[in-house]
């Protein structure tokens, strides 16, 4: 039942991520699914980084890693795919 509801929504999301007229919208739509995975990995996964550090360094390190992961996702999934699919108007 849940798959029957989520499948059309996910399909529309992926199609919009590749055919949206605005390149910035395409970049955001392609990169956004990485954010929850990055947060889950850095805060809730049992093998979290910076676990033995003081709380301030731990939080700052995790935030920095999430920012780096998102920058990589934007570079590869956003700008890189825009360049592959539409080289005339990358951004």
- Residue 67 confidence (pLDDT): 93
Q: Tell me the average confidence (pLDDT) per consecutive run of 10 residues in the chain, 91 residues long.
A: 90 89 86 89 78 87 91 86 69 59
Closest CA to 22 of 80, 84, 67, 78: 78
pTM of the model: 0.74
- Residue 74 confidence (pLDDT): 87
What are the residue ranges of helices labelled H in 1-91?
A: 2-19, 23-31, 34-39, 55-73, 81-85
Alpha-carbon separation of residue 56 from 26, 51, 63 (angstroms)? 35, 11, 11
Q: How far apart are CA 57 and CA 47, in angstroms?
A: 17
Query: What is the SS3 assignment for 2?
Result: helix
């Amino acid at each position: 039942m849940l798959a029957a509801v989520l499948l059309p929504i996910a399909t529309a999301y992926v199609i919009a991520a590749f055919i949206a007229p605005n390149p910035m919208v395409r970049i955001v739509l392609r990169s956004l699914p990485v954010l929850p995975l990055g947060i889950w990995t850095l805060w809730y996964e049992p093998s979290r980084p910076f676990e033995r550090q003081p709380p301030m360094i731990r939080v700052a390190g995790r935030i920095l890693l999430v920012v780096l992961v998102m920058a990589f996702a934007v570079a590869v999934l956003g700008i890189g795919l825009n360049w592959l699919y539409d080289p005339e108007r990358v951004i």
